[in-house]
Amino acid sequence: MYSLLIKQFLRSRISIFALILLLIMGIVAIIIGRQFLLKQKETISRITEHQQKHIERNVAAHDEMGLLLYYIKFSLINAPDKLAGLSIGQRDINPAIQSVTIRTLEGQKYDTDLANPVHLQIGNLDLGFVIIYLFPLVIIAFTFNLLSEDDESGTWKLLTVQSRSAFRFLLAKLLVRAIFIYGLLLMLMIIAAIILSLPMSTSLLAFFLISVLYIASWFTLCFWLSVFKKSSRFNVLTLLTIWVLLTILAPASINNLVSVLYPVPESLGTMVKQRDAYHEKWDMPKEVTMQRFYAHYPQFQKYGIPQDSFGWLWYYAMQQMGDDESQVQSMAMKEKILLREKTSRGIAQLLPTLHTQMHLNDLAGTSLTDYVTLLDSASSFHEKMRMFFYPKIFENAPVESVDWSKLKPEYLSPDQEIHWLDMVMPLVIFILVLGGWTFFRSSQLYSLE
């Protein structure tokens, strides 16, 4: 039976064309992912070279430690995992490199490169996009008339009489289509592993597993609709409506919902507060600024209160106070961002498309959570650089006392933990519920109304 169904499936030129087109789109997406990784690698290489030349140029131009540190920037790099070539996520919007001076941090956190807004609107074609958006369309094209085709041609009654189980026959037709779709997915994953030089890892296995489950959820959905014995026209319109709902309308609605529930006015408030907190210190007595600074860093109290009209100790104390006094707004903004992410993930458990997208980005290290991690690490990195240079500035150490050649860009250590249960359970439940419902309705396959 299976050999006959396979021959029947391959006899359709449209089916072959759809598979070839999907294969081509997948390969193009992988190539685009490779170009993205190469661009990221080139950017990181340039940053490393630029920081070295930037430090050398400023060291040669300034002989005062406080003035020199006013200009020098130090970089923290979150190098992309190779899986980012399969799911670019928010890497094209949120920067993967934080370059900061030891001055106020909050105003520097969200500095980023300018990007073409038209390009950002179009987005990137990656393999994750092909799996989430294009694979379901091909599945719909292959399965919308799974039963209705035989029903409308008048052969279904004959099949139900001759076949031991109409449900098994319908399931066999579905499995034949699934074989070709999963074969294509496996082929694309192998091509991606070769082109992107992906190492065998648990992350790659998890990426493939969630893709398999996501595709299975669409097959289950199409199979579920077919047993209602509706017309082909009704099936295709219903499935396309569901596709639009799950891939476009629902994610956009959820995004608007979380934006309304958790507005982020703190983003502007943080910047304004940080700037005001710093600038107002010019008109305040030095004692007030220094007392607050020493309350934050009691280990520096030995430097006392500067008496000069201007001093780098007082200046960097003002800079530090700018960050300290905007800390409330900064933490509130971070909490809002995390609440948005948590809410989105909670709702996404009910939507296979959004759930799969989020976890593909998690595996590739391109999610909003990864960006927040970079910002947190930038704060720790910034504090580390301050603690290294503050004593040298306050003691007016000679510029030559620092081995500047050792100050290379630092890399964020990858710390990826795969939450297998959270990743697969919503999709498994979706498949089991619809699959069970389909099985219970299968008794109606023997009678046509």
Domain for residue 37, yes or no?
yes
Domain for residue 292, yes or no?
no
pLDDT at residue 120, rounded to an integer: 43
24: domain range?
A: 2-278+308-446
pLDDT at residue 122, rounded to an integer: 46
Cβ count within 10 A of residue 182: 16
Domain for residue 300, yes or no?
no
pLDDT in tens, 100-152: 999 888 777 765 554 444 444 445 789 999 999 999 999 999 998 887 776 66
Tokens at 228, concatenated: 């209602």
pLDDT at residue 429, rounded to an integer: 96
Domain for residue 39, yes or no?
yes
pLDDT at residue 194, rounded to an integer: 96
Domain for residue 83, yes or no?
yes
Considering its fold, how many domains does the chain have in total? 1
Work out whether strand 97-100 and strand 410-411 pair parallel, antiparallel, or are unpaired: unpaired
Domain for residue 166, yes or no?
yes
Domain for residue 397, yes or no?
yes
User: Residue 77 pairs with which residues in a beta bridge?
Assistant: 97, 411
Residue 52's φ and ψ, nearest 5 degrees, are -65, -45
**Alpha-carbon gap, residue 108 to 98, rounded angstroms:** 8
Cα atoms in the Cβ-side hemisphere of radius 13 Å centred on 101: 16
pLDDT in tens, 201-251: 999 999 999 999 999 999 999 999 988 888 889 999 999 999 999 999 999
Q: Which residues of 313-331 are buried (b: 16+ CB within 10 A; e: fewer)?
A: bbbbbbbbbbbbbbeebbe
Regions of the chain with pLDDT less than 50:
114-122, 447-449
User: Residue 410 pairs with which residues in a beta bridge?
Assistant: 76
pLDDT at residue 223, rounded to an integer: 92
Domain for residue 288, yes or no?
no
pLDDT at residue 12, rounded to an integer: 80
